[in-house]
Chains A and B, each alone.
Chain A
Amino acid sequence: MRKILSRRTFLHGTGGVLVGLPFLEEMRPRSAGAQDAEPPMRLITLFFGLGVARDESTKQFGGPLEPYQPLESKMAFFTNLELKQAHDFGSGEPHFKVGDVVFVGDPQKREYEASGPSLEQLVKKELHPDGVPTLLGSKSIGMWFRTGSVSQYTRHWNQDGSPGERPERRPTRIFEQMFGGLMSGNPANPDDPGDVAARHMRRSVLDSVIGEYQHYTSDASPLGAESKAKLSVHLDNIRNVETRLAPVEEAIDDALAQECTVPSSVTDPGTDIPYDLDQGGSGGSAPIIDHEDFAAAFQIQAELMALALRCDALRFGSMLFVGAGGHVGLRGTYSALGDSVDFTADLQGTSPHDAYFHNNRWDKCRLHAHYCQANLASALLAFDDPNYLESNGKTVLDNTLVIVGTDYGGGGTSTGHIPEGVFHAIAGGNGHFRPGFYDNVYNVIDLYETALMPYQLSTGMGAGRHARFRYTPKEITELLV
């Protein structure tokens, strides 16, 4: 029997059941649905810091990309992309000014400010100008610990290019934000008249508030363009609140919201992970975290993101595994590709960025990159869980456009910040893309534009959007099915 996802499902968690790893063991698998309705357009970006040297990415599954092999039939790998516009037109510390460009394409407007929205925000606005009919408009999550620059960790850029949500780290908080109750009231008796009236009034309040924002962003407004844009961003975010307030049964597509059981709680792995660190996080003040705990936390994040997609609690989001530049302190030994790296010995008071990347330790960069890919691949596998097939009989990954990206390429035989030979990948994508390896030179904009083409958005990334540095995007025809 089909079970409709309900806010009440979330609120009525029986409590007392702490769910640790593996998260999915507590989930109730559902049978494959017989419905033929197509899931909605979804877009998730996955970022990892410090890049992969092209010499390594071109080894395909014989190098750091090895963890993706189980997803070979569902991914297209790009090993020779350019991000030169980040350098040529941007300012700031190299990793950070590239951070403004990944998943955006165009060079930054100014330091700490992108040229426009990131891909998932662009599509979100295009498809849902009045708000996404899901619990959350979008969500940004990830594991990162250097706080000095928003460009390092922000992958959600608003319509005006301002930085959006800072990626949330703590799994329990992500859980609460994704599935927690906005609506107060009486969980034991959700039909309590007082609760019904409260729901009605929240709706009424939001209607009046939205009306005021609409007035101040309209032609009748006495505000100038910059103020209007500022209020428009706020209005966009209000629309997401509005959706969360609407009765979920109305917001969820019945065909999608089949059995979708949410656990009552999750736990935060790693007793020494400073999830709430708000300052510093670099050099001597960088937290040193067991790499397995770090990975476990990210895995729960990925499971939560997969669950949210499956439940249609959100359709757009971004994930981050280590911010741009790879500033994170790790400990423990990591083994892969017949080699191993001792983070404990190598990273005392420093990070892979300093100890490996800038000391030309490409052998260690290789394993660090493998460590990142292993975690991203694990996230993708969570999306691709065959136990949870959607209404069209495909996995969440199949039905979601996932774009993997990073900040730098180069490497191998040369030092430092080379915005060429940059690695990206597309996973899933609704069957629109041809899997395989692509080593031709393209700009990341070519990839972003081509990735959006099958979805028939009215503007793509926007006519004239690349005019500032006079770039004419090229369609990657061989990528499209």
Chain B
Amino acid sequence: MLCPLLAAGAASSADLNEAWLAIANSHPKDALRKLDESDPARAVQLARAVALMAQQSATDDNVRAAEKIFVELATGNDEPADEAAYLQARLYQLHYVQPDYAKAAELYQALAQRHPRSHWAQLGLVKLALLKLYVVPDTTAAGSDRLAPAEALLAQISDPLLQRDLNLQIGQAGVALKQPLARFLPHLVAADRVGGITATAREDLIVQIGVLSMRAGDWAQAKKYFERYLVEFPNNVRAYDVKLNLDDAIRHLAKRAGS
């Protein structure tokens, strides 16, 4: 009696994995073919909604169909509920032809209140902070300090990698929003300390901390980062200027030591 049921269950789980794999390989149509629309399992419905939002070409109809499923799933109290709530916010921020940043911000906030420790809620806080930095500034909270609302959200994030990502973004926003150097340079240093930043972003960050430290008069920190750059990227076109800046930093430190 049990055998056919077990077999059905195993096949369904295998199909689900195949569907997720198809989505991970950017083949959402294949995923939809593997999933039974009438299957009420929450995991299956989540995969269906994700496949719908990933359809090419993207249309508001597909996004709406995905949202309908996300809304239903988000009422639960499990991992798919948090994933669905996070993705619903993403739809309003990025996927609808006409974004609704305020609505997205509201949904990220609601998820963080409901399940603050969930990975998806924490990732949502990073996205919310970006919105607050650039498109829905919180003007009531901290006057003209554009970084403060994002810093308040940073305090709610416990995942070190997500803290790193938000620190990096607050640092970059500090430059873009022309904030005082002392307000954002420590965020860049904090992001670097966690490590794991790769490719150009890594190279840019090391030079950037060196140069901004120099501009802030922190010659010792500038020297440290310039030296690190020259060890990691000795052949890069920037190495010549980094070397000149390093010489400058060493001169200033020697002068200070002399006086």
Whether chains A and B associate is no
Chain A residues with a Cβ under 8 A of chain B: none
Chain B residues with a Cβ under 8 A of chain A: none
